[in-house]
Amino acid sequence: MNKLIATLFICFTISGCSSLNEVKLDEKPTSSYVGENVRVTTHSGEVFEFKVESATDLAVSGQGKYINVADIEKMEVEEFSALKSISLSGGLYMLGAVIIAVIVL
């Protein structure tokens, strides 16, 4: 039982929490997003999710996708949230402790 709880705790801790935050393309050069996981929405309504492999002032590309900056309506960057991860892990730990207490008592 303890191994199961430890395994679940480790899995949830490693998975972590992340969120998508919208970025303004005119505030930072697009080359600063190389290596980031992004979600791009174009003016035509198409949504693309990929890891940016290269970027210039004219285009962003990665994983076989090439998008002109002029066609981008919204770009969101995935960011890791340590606070959310710690909260999730702590909450799951407390839930596990309550379940064990109920079983034992």
65-85 per-position pLDDT tens digit: 999 999 999 999 987 655 555
Give the rounded percent of residues in the chain with a pLDDT score beyond 70. 70
What are 2-30's pLDDT values in tens digits?
676 666 666 555 555 667 778 888 888 88
CB 24 within 8 A of CB 75: no
pLDDT tier for residue 103 given thresholds of 50, 70 and 90: confident
17 class by beta-carbon count within 10 Å (0-12 exposed, 13-18 middle, 19+ buried): middle
- The reported pLDDT for the residue numbered 9 is 60
Q: Across residues 49-72, what is the average pLDDT?
A: 94
Give the rounded percent of residues in the chain with a pLDDT score beyond 90. 40
3-state secondary structure (DSSP) of residue 61: strand
CB 12 within 8 A of CB 89: yes
**Across-strand partners of 29?**
none
- The reported pLDDT for the residue numbered 46 is 95
3-state secondary structure (DSSP) of residue 18: strand
Rounded Cα distance between 60 and 69, Å, is 7
